[in-house]
């Protein structure tokens, strides 16, 4: 299984257009790499690709990665998409892919996410032909696209409900399946990838999925619960926005101490001190053997 990080930032990216915080300023000045909004692409053969979330930066992300380029007029190697939740930074890229012509995408999400998304006029066309927006049943295996696409590829997906709510535009409701982690298995290589860019807590099911994965991309939005407030950027805590912080006594690093899975933090908010390689937060992450995703990072499982 080939995994390509298309984008590694939370909503807004780094730099964010209206932000001159230390991280955004460093990226804008070219002292650190810029980051587009979080999404990864997965393939077993390098020819057909699945996107895990589809960020508003998808057009630039496609251009930055040759295997996603069209090979003839009006063509795309992107077969389908899987969504973890209905946040605009995770499916807003659909509005960029309106010029699909006759190419139909197969999209999969929880029933809850599909219902929220297709109620929005901008996303509704993706539930109609030539597309199919299928339900990813919670906690059951399903095919990422369809059986025909899967011949010789043998990828399966499991959507694991995690702690979280529907997006702000839907009222932050507590609904089962509002946020899921996606477990992708390539049966032939027995490789297992977990993509969990958003979670408010690590419950037993998420912990078990992290332990079972070869590589787990985890929510790296915030290092501390109060960093937005402390930096004067916003009045909300990480947890109130549905993100468990990476650091602190109840943070992800503390909770996963001793785990053997390769952990890669992604979906980094521009407020996150982990983005500064000289910070203590960055050192803590590396100390525990975890990594920080970057745009264009590539792994082979
Ligand atoms: Zn996001
Ligand atoms: Zn900033």
C-alpha 111, offset from chain centre: 18
Query: In the prediction, which pLDDT does 142 show?
Result: 85
Among all bound ligands, the one having the nearest atom to the CA of 85 is 1
Task: Specify the range with the lowest mean pLDDT, choosing from 39-43, 46-50, 203-207.
Answer: 46-50
Among all bound ligands, the one having the nearest atom to the CA of 21 is 2
Higher pLDDT, 259 or 152: 259
Indicate the pTM of the whole model: 0.96
Higher pLDDT, 79 or 153: 79
Ligand 1 ion: Cβ-proximal residues, 5 Å cutoff:
10-11, 87, 89
Do residues 214 and 301 touch, judged by C-beta distance below 8 A? yes
Among all bound ligands, the one having the nearest atom to the CA of 241 is 1
Residue ranges of E strands in 187-227:
191-196, 215-219
CA of 56 to the centre of ligand 1 (A): 11
Nearest to 49 by CA among 298, 215, 221, 261: 298
Among all bound ligands, the one having the nearest atom to the CA of 231 is 2
Two tokens, residue 72 = 């003839």
CA of 269 to the centre of ligand 1 (A): 9
Cα–Cα distance between 246 and 100 in angstroms, integer? 38
CA of 266 to the centre of ligand 1 (A): 10
Here the contacts of 288-291 (C-beta below 8 Å, separation 24 or greater) are: 288/253, 288/256, 288/257, 288/263, 289/263, 290/253, 290/263, 290/264, 290/265, 291/262, 291/263, 291/264, 291/265
Nearest to 200 by CA among 239, 169, 253, 227: 239
Give the pLDDT confidence of 207-229 residue by residue, as tens digits: 999 999 999 999 999 999 999 99
Calculate mean pLDDT across residues 38-61.
95
Cα–Cα distance between 213 and 260 in angstroms, integer? 9
Q: Is the confidence at residue 151, as pLDDT, over 70? A: no
* Backbone CA torsion sign across 170, 15, 10, 280: negative
- For the chain, the maximum distance between any two Cα atoms, rounded to a whole number of angstroms, is 54
Do residues 296 and 64 touch, judged by C-beta distance below 8 A? yes
For residue 283, give every residue at least 6 positions away whose Cβ sits within 8 Å of its Cβ, in sequence order, or none.
none
Q: Is the confidence at residue 44, as pLDDT, over 90? A: no
Q: How confident is the model at residue 81 (pLDDT cuts 50, 70, 90)?
A: very high
Query: In the prediction, which pLDDT does 6 show?
Result: 98
Do residues 285 and 292 touch, judged by C-beta distance below 8 A? yes
Among all bound ligands, the one having the nearest atom to the CA of 37 is 1
Do residues 181 and 195 touch, judged by C-beta distance below 8 A? yes
Give the pLDDT confidence of 264-279 residue by residue, as tens digits: 999 999 999 999 999 9
Query: In the prediction, which pLDDT does 149 show?
Result: 59
| Residue listed under structure tokens 């860019």 | 197
């Amino acid at each position: 299984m080939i995994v390509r990080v298309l984008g590694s930032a939370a909503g807004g990216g780094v730099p964010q257009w209206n932000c001159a915080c230390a991280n955004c300023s460093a990226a804008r000045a070219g002292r650190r790499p810029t980051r587009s909004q979080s999404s990864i692409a997965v393939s077993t053969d390098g020819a057909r690709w699945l996107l895990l979330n589809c960020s508003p930066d998808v057009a630039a992300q496609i251009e930055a990665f040759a295997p996603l380029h069209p090979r003839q007029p009006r063509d795309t190697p992107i077969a389908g998409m899987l969504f973890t939740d209905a946040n605009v930074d995770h499916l807003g890229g659909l509005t960029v892919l309106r010029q699909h012509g006759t190419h139909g995408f197969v999209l999969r999400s929880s029933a809850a996410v599909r219902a929220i998304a297709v109620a929005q006029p901008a996303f509704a066309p993706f539930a109609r032909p030539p597309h199919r927006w299928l339900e990813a049943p919670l906690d059951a295996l399903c095919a990422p696209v369809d059986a025909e696409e899967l011949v010789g590829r043998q990828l399966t997906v499991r959507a694991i409900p995690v702690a979280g709510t529907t997006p702000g535009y839907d009222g932050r409701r507590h609904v089962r399946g509002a946020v899921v982690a996606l477990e992708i298995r390539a049966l032939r290589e027995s490789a297992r990838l977990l993509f969990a860019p958003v979670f408010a807590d690590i419950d037993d099911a998420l912990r078990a999925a992290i332990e079972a994965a070869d590589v787990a991309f985890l929510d790296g939005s915030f290092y501390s619960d109060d960093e937005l407030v402390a930096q004067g950027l916003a009045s909300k805590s990480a947890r109130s926005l549905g993100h468990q912080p990476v650091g602190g006594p109840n943070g992800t690093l503390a909770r996963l101490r001793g785990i053997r899975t390769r952990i890669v933090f992604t979906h980094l908010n521009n407020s996150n001190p982990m983005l500064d390689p000289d910070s203590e937060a960055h050192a803590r992450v590396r100390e525990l053997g975890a990594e920080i995703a970057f745009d264009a990072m590539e792994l082979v499982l």
